[in-house]
C-alpha cells in the first residue's frame, strides 16, 4: 500500500501538534549534539531524511534528531516551521513562497537549499482513455485531457497550480478540465479504478509510476522531460527550509544539516540498490522494488548532477520561482526578493 500523504492540503489540527512538538533548540542529551527537529513524510522527495536516519548521518554531523514529525500536510509543516516547532523541512517551493509572503518577519520560512531544480510533477491517466502515444507533442497530450476529470490533492495545492500552468502553456483554459480534490496520491488509485477520475496530478516522481502500475494506466505527461515547455520543466520545486529567525541564530547547526543531506545524496548515488530498498520499504511497504530502483536511476542521472554543492540556491532559479509565485497569486509583485528569502550562507 502506498504511504504518500497529500502535501498541499489544508492543515487541520496544527495547534494540537504544535503543543505536542514543543520547540526551541538546545544541547542534546549526553553530548549527542544540537537538538534539531525535522518534519518528513514517506516518498522520494523526503528520501534523504530516511537515508540520513538509516546511516547515522545526523549524529556524525553533531545533530541530535528525535523521531521525525509527520504533519498532516505541507501547509501544516510550514506552520510548524514558522512557530519554531520544526527546525528543518523539505518544502514545495511555491508553497513556501506563499507562506513567506504572508508571515511576519522573523517567523517567515526561508530557503537554505534547493533539493531538486527540475519539476517532480506529472499527470497519470487511467487505462480506458484514447490517449496519445509517447511521440505526441505536449500540446496534443494536454488537449487529450479536455473535458476529463483530473484529480489533485486539493484545490489550490501544488498539483492544482501545476495543472493550471500546463493548461495555460498548452493554450487551454483551467475550465477545460474538471479539477477534483481527491486527497493524497493513494486515494487516486481507487478513484481511477472506479472511473471517477480520468487522471491525477502526481506530486512525486515515484508516486506517478506507482499509480500508473496499480491502475493499469500510464504516465501521460512527465513535466520534467526535455520535451516539456521550459517554464513547466525548469522549476526548482523542492527546497530545504527553516524559519528566518532560526537561520539567523543557528547557521552552524543548519550547515551541519546540509552536510548530512549532502552526504546522504552522495551515498544514494553510489549505493543505488541500498537506497532503493529504503525507499521501497518506507514508502511502498516493500511492494514496489522495481519503481524504487527506477527512481534511484532517475535520481542519479537527472536530479543529483544538477544540484549545487551543499544544495546552494542560485539566484536565477529562485527568481524564476518567485516569478511563478506571483503568476499563481501566491505572492504579490515585489513581496519577495532573493536576498530576503535566501540567507547569505545558502546563496550560490
Same domain membership, residue 217 and residue 159 = yes
Domain boundary pick from 172, 202, 233: 233
- Neighbour tally for 230: CB within 10 Å: 10
Domain boundary pick from 178, 206, 233: 233
In a domain, 18, yes or no: yes
Given the C-alpha cell 494536454, which residue does it identify?
Answer: 142
In a domain, 95, yes or no: yes
Same domain membership, residue 197 and residue 273 = no
User: Do residues 85 and 54 make contact, with C-beta atoms less than 8 angstroms apart?
Assistant: no
Domain count, the chain: 2
Same domain membership, residue 323 and residue 178 = no
Percent of the chain with pLDDT over 70: 91
3-state DSSP assignment of residue 30: helix
State pLDDT tens for residues 142-175: 999 999 999 998 888 888 989 999 999 999 999 9
State pLDDT tens for residues 218-268: 999 999 999 999 999 999 999 999 999 999 999 999 999 999 999 999 999
In a domain, 22, yes or no: yes
- Sheet with 218-222, strands from edge to edge, namely 178-181, 149-152, 199-202, 122-125, 218-222
> For residue 28, what pLDDT is reported?
46
Same domain membership, residue 239 and residue 330 = yes
Same domain membership, residue 189 and residue 239 = no
In angstroms, rounded to a whole number, what is the distance separating the alpha carbons of residues 346 and 310? Answer: 8
In angstroms, rounded to a whole number, what is the distance separating the alpha carbons of residues 143 and 313? Answer: 35
Same domain membership, residue 250 and residue 108 = yes
> For residue 202, what pLDDT is reported?
95
User: Do residues 207 and 183 make contact, with C-beta atoms less than 8 angstroms apart?
Assistant: no
Asked whether residue 57 carries a pLDDT value surpassing 90, the answer given is: yes
In a domain, 2, yes or no: no
Asked whether residue 178 carries a pLDDT value surpassing 50, the answer given is: yes
As a dihedral over the C-alpha atoms of residue 209, residue 212, residue 215, residue 216, rounded to 10 degrees, the angle is -120
State pLDDT tens for residues 279-312: 999 999 999 999 999 999 999 999 999 999 999 9
CA distances for 196 relative to 90, 143, 208, angstroms:
32, 20, 18
Same domain membership, residue 242 and residue 202 = no
State pLDDT tens for residues 107-137: 999 999 999 999 999 999 999 889 999 899 9
Angle at 213 between CA 91 and CA 193, to 5 degrees: 95
3-state DSSP assignment of residue 77: helix
Same domain membership, residue 101 and residue 188 = no
Q: At 35, list the grid cell.
A: 537538538
Asked whether residue 15 carries a pLDDT value surpassing 80, the answer given is: no
Asked whether residue 93 carries a pLDDT value surpassing 80, the answer given is: yes
In a domain, 5, yes or no: no
Closest CA to 43 of 212, 240, 214, 283: 283
| H-run or E-run covering 119 | none
How far apart are the two ends of the chain, measured CA to CA in Å? 40
In a domain, 180, yes or no: yes
Segments forming the whole domain that contains residue 70: 14-118+235-346
In a domain, 8, yes or no: no
CA torsion sign for 12, 7, 108, 59 is: positive
> For residue 24, what pLDDT is reported?
46
Same domain membership, residue 129 and residue 111 = no
In a domain, 300, yes or no: yes
- CATH (domain of 134): 3.40.190.10
Closest CA to 84 of 38, 35, 24: 24
Domain boundary pick from 187, 202, 233: 233
Given the C-alpha cell 521525525, which residue does it identify?
Answer: 68
Same domain membership, residue 157 and residue 106 = no
Q: Minimum mean pLDDT among 81-85, 109-113, 183-187: which range?
A: 183-187
In angstroms, rounded to a whole number, what is the distance separating the alpha carbons of residues 131 and 140? Answer: 9
> For residue 10, what pLDDT is reported?
34
CB-side neighbour CA atoms (13 Å) of 3: 19
DSSP 23: -
Given the C-alpha cell 511497504, which residue does it identify?
Answer: 285
Same domain membership, residue 220 and residue 173 = yes
Same domain membership, residue 145 and residue 270 = no
Amino acid at each position: 500500500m502506498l504511504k504518500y500523504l497529500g502535501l498541499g492540503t489544508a492543515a487541520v489540527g496544527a495547534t494540537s501538534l504544535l503543543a505536542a512538538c514543543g520547540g526551541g533548540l538546545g544541547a542534546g542529551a549526553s553530548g549527542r549534539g544540537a537538538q534539531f527537529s525535522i518534519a518528513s513524510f514517506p516518498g522520494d522527495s523526503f528520501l534523504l531524511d530516511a537515508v540520513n536516519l538509516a546511516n547515522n548521518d545526523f549524529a556524525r554531523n553533531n545533530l541530535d534528531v528525535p523521531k521525525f514529525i509527520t504533519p498532516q500536510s505541507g501547509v501544516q509543516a510550514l506552520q510548524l516551521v514558522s512557530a519554531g516547532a520544526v527546525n528543518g523541512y523539505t518544502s514545495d517551493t511555491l508553497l513556501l513562497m506563499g507562506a513567506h509572503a504572508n508571515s511576519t518577519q522573523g517567523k517567515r520560512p526561508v530557503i537554505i537549499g534547493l533539493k531538486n531544480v527540475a519539476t517532480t510533477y506529472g499527470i497519470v491517466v487511467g487505462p480506458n482513455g484514447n490517449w496519445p502515444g509517447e511521440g505526441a507533442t505536449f500540446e496534443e497530450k494536454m488537449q487529450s485531457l479536455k473535458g476529463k476529470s483530473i484529480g489533485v490533492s486539493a484545490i489550490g495545492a501544488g498539483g492544482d497550480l501545476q495543472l493550471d500552468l500546463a493548461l495555460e502553456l498548452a493554450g487551454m483554459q483551467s475550465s477545460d478540465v474538471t479539477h477534483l480534490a481527491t486527497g493524497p496520491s493513494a486515494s487516486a488509485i481507487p478513484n481511477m479504478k472506479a472511473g471517477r477520475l480520468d487522471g491525477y496530478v502526481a506530486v512525486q516522481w515515484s508516486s506517478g509510476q506507482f499509480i500508473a502500475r496499480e491502475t493499469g494506466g500510464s504516465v501521460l505527461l512527465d513535466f520534467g522531460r526535455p520535451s516539456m515547455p521550459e517554464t513547466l520543466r525548469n522549476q526548482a520545486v523542492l527546497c530545504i527550509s527553516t524559519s528566518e529567525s532560526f537561520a539567523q541564530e543557528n547557521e552552524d547547526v543548519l550547515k551541519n544539516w546540509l552536510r548530512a543531506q549532502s552526504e546522504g545524496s552522495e551515498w544514494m548515488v553510489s549505493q543505488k540498490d541500498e537506497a532503493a530498498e529504503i525507499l521501497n520499504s518506507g514508502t511502498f511497504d516493500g511492494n514496489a522494488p522495481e519503481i524504487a530502483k527506477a527512481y534511484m536511476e532517475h535520481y542519479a542521472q537527472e536530479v543529483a548532477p544538477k544540484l549545487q554543492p551543499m544544495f546552494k540556491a542560485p539566484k536565477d532559479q529562485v527568481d524564476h520561482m518567485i516569478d511563478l509565485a506571483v503568476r499563481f497569486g501566491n505572492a504579490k509583485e515585489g513581496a519577495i526578493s532573493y536576498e530576503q528569502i535566501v540567507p547569505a550562507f545558502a546563496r550560490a
